[in-house]
Structure 1
Amino acid sequence: MGVYQPHTEDFKDKALGLVSTGSFPAIVSAADAMLKSSEVILVGYEKIGSGHCTAIVRGKISDVRLAVEVGAENAQQNGQLISSLVIARPLPNLEVVLPIGSRLAQLTYGRGSSKLSNQAIGLLETRGFPAMVGAADTMLKAAEVELSAHEIIGAGLCTAIIRGSVADVAVALEAGMHEAARIGELNAVMVIPRPLEDLEQTLPLASCWIEKPQPLAIPTKIVEKEKELELVELPDLKQIPVPLEEPLRLDE
């Protein structure tokens, strides 16, 4: 089996952009802002513990610079920006070892369609697992939302991810915030009203919400039953008695 050798032309006039935050809801919000600001691809997230999350985007140098600027500003407004970086024309080896390979494979093979696609995203992050579970239970009871997944990023930070209409997500988050604060510590809350498909593909999703296409059941061998013809034996016409008609009488 050969070793993957990327072509240098694939990386010409390309750049990598990285924005790092101290919260998972904050990095999702920053990634959403980057995707909507320019023509970049969201490669994925890198979580290194202690709550540090990094969103990695790829595209043309000018697009990546704009996206990183917008993403960093978004994270700064949420009070969660740690650092940002733009790498122009990275060497192929650098991209191969980053989470780009798995992302491209996911784009190629897909993970199936989701029942929750095209719905608003709500993220509620707590410090402590009981607070997240309690908040998730309260959110589900407060509005018509679905708990799609949860994310753990270290330092005791856990994020419940819900899906539903914008109004329902907002109501659910408000109820969940109070419950999380009552049980433990609320760290961050975020609403993504109109997530792009690129963002959808990078978010965690429980397997119960993934609809994988089922193979069409088609018989591979069709056997046609031959109809048997029944032979009927005809009688010998010579042996069949034929009644003779009486001769006509002229006097009648």
Structure 2
Amino acid sequence: LGRPATNAPLVAECDAVVHSALYRPGAGFRGAEGAIDRFVELNVVGTLRLIEAARAAGVPRFVFISTCAVHERILDDRPLDEAHPLWPRSHYGAHKAAIEKFVHSYGLGAGYTICALRPTGIYGLAHPVSDSKWFDLVRRVKAGERVTVERGGKEVHAADVARAVRLLLDAPAERITGEAFNCYDRYVSEYDIATITKELSGSSAEIVGEQRRPQHEIETGKLRSLGFEFGGEPLLRATVRELLDAV
């Protein structure tokens, strides 16, 4: 993103571009952006340069990986769908929201086949597997320890994100050009993970805490209207089984 001269050879003869790159000097997504001018130059301006290079090279389709962090102030009087106002509370979410507006202008204004996909938190087996989300919780429940469960989050499996990207690459251009698509499967609490782990492992662990539910659910009808189906509970349970086998 910081080397504009590399964009043209990077996209030459590509059938499509899927852009998920991000510059951040720190860890995490809040407060890790470093100097804001450099953060914007590399991530926002750098993305626009990449889009321009793709258009100049005749790349027929561009998928930008955005984030659910474009929605952090959420209204109670309307669905949390793609038409909901974008009100991020982090510079990370703000830069993604800014690029989404260019997705609209390039698609709806310039006629370029470009769209944005907004994953929530992403789960699945990481490499190394010990870096996987919920790894330590699964390990402790399997070992029969007493665990306290408090948190949860909106999640989608990495495989579902990949399949959603594939769908957007293949969908009719008129259905996706200039559009954004929410990518969210289900709310997963630590209580869910602990109880599934206990069931699958036959553990005697004591689980302290209650089930949690989100205040707002993200609507995904737009992506589903293209024929997409999320992995749901079977994929979540399969992932917990993989974690159990790995600990």
Q: TM-score, normalised by structure 2?
A: 0.27
Q: Greater share of strand residues, 1 or 2?
A: 1
Q: Which protein has the larger Cα radius of gyration, Structure 1 or Structure 2?
A: 1
